Amino acid sequence: MNTKPAHLPSLDPASATHVARVTDFLSARIRQAGGWLPFDQYMELVLYAPGLGYYDAGNQKLAEAGRLQGDFVTAPELTPLFAHTLAQAAQPLLAQSAPAILEFGAGSGALAEGVLTRLSEQGVTVEYSILELSADLRARQRQRLARFAPQVTWLEALPAAFSGVVLANEVLDAMPVSLFRWDGETVMERGVSLDETGAFVWRDRAASAALQQAVRDRMPAYPGYLSEINLRAEAWVRGMGSWLKQGAALLIDYGFPQDEYYHPQRASGTLMCHYRHHAHDDPFFAPGVQDLTAHVDFTAMALAANQGGLDVLGYTSQGSFLMEAGLLEQLAGFDPSDALRYAQVSAAVQKLVSPAEMGELFKVLALGKGVGAELPGFGRGDRSHRL
């Protein structure tokens, strides 16, 4: 097992046992692969290996606002107003396509609950489908969404055809990435090996021709530069064009346009790990009980969408999107005479929209097919020209 970074909390006994199982599993896979595993394969196993991966092993992943359980808090857990605002923005799109929503990676079910609640209050009925890889999270979602049971279904695979609105909040960042490093003139792919003690270590190999070309197509050579490229997320977005027949997708995640993503000063990439509300950069610590993520190259996602036959309908910061889509109007529905509750909700809203918090780092990319009206949230703040 690799050494724990000094600032991180210690593992509890159950987590330590699980980490040992995952470590043995990964070590065996590395040996089976000849002693070297590309990082995207390591990341896929760490996150999604059946019964072992972070999203499949039943550990507490998502925390509610103000609580320390879990490893991170997402926007829907901060306040239902996030989901209510998305529901408001989705209504014109639903009217142009079909009364159906498909959510990827629904987490605790908070986003689905908030969207369905708000639509119900406005007399709008939709079919709500969820595609969730984690059996543990599916169970939590079923419990949370029980009152909406007739409307909600869980899918085992991508639909052959879908019309309506697609929601994906913090989904792209959890897709396995390839790591690369410029070694003079050569693009090297970073992978995982074992040292003489059995600990995980980095090993670099010359990248495949396809990966070499993909890297060279999006950035100049910066010797010593280390970063990542998410070809799987690009393929997922490109593939959406084959099954999204009419409607729009709202992809919400942290990231940058390509010229910022591969900026010379961002020489160590964006790979990040999350463990008990601590962020760090060691993906070899505690495999199976910490999350691994990378920021999103939104330019690459927009290009993949165009290649798949989808239109880029809008791109902006989360703060700008929420403000233009009516977040403050949602906040106005709370009674300010309940000072404590109002202060809590206001603080959550501030975190969602503040440039110093989630408002600027998180972006919203809207993709679609067969919808023509201007989308709520992408008026004055649209940055599509930056992609």
All structural domains of the chain with their residue ranges: 13-386
What CA–CA distances, in Å, run from 371 to 132, 244, 248?
A: 27, 12, 7
Give me the half-sphere count of Cα atoms (radius 13 Å) on the Cβ side of residue 33. Answer: 17
What does each of the 387 residues of the chain score in pLDDT, given as a tens digit? Answer: 566 565 788 888 999 999 999 999 999 999 999 999 999 999 999 999 999 999 887 555 544 444 445 556 899 999 999 999 999 999 999 999 999 999 999 999 999 999 999 999 999 999 999 999 888 899 999 999 999 999 999 999 999 999 999 999 999 999 999 999 998 789 999 999 999 999 999 999 999 999 999 999 999 999 999 999 999 999 999 999 999 999 999 999 999 999 999 999 999 999 999 988 888 999 999 999 999 999 999 999 999 999 999 999 999 999 999 999 999 998 888 777 788 888 898 999 999 999 999 999 999 999 999 998 678 899 989 999 999
Structure tokens, 259: 């010229």
Helices 339-353 + 80-96 axis angle, to 10: 60
57, 136 contact by CB (below 8 A): yes
Structure tokens, 25: 């599993």
Beta strands in the chain (DSSP E): 37-38, 100-104, 127-131, 152-155, 162-169, 178-183, 186-194, 200-206, 226-229, 244-256, 272-275, 278-280, 291-293, 296-297, 311-317, 362-369
Q: Does domain 13-386 have CATH number 3.40.50.12710?
A: yes
Give counts: helices (H), strands (E), the chain.
14, 16
Residue 122 buriedness (CB in 10 A; 0-12 / 13-18 / 19+): exposed
**Residue-level pLDDT at 208:** 96
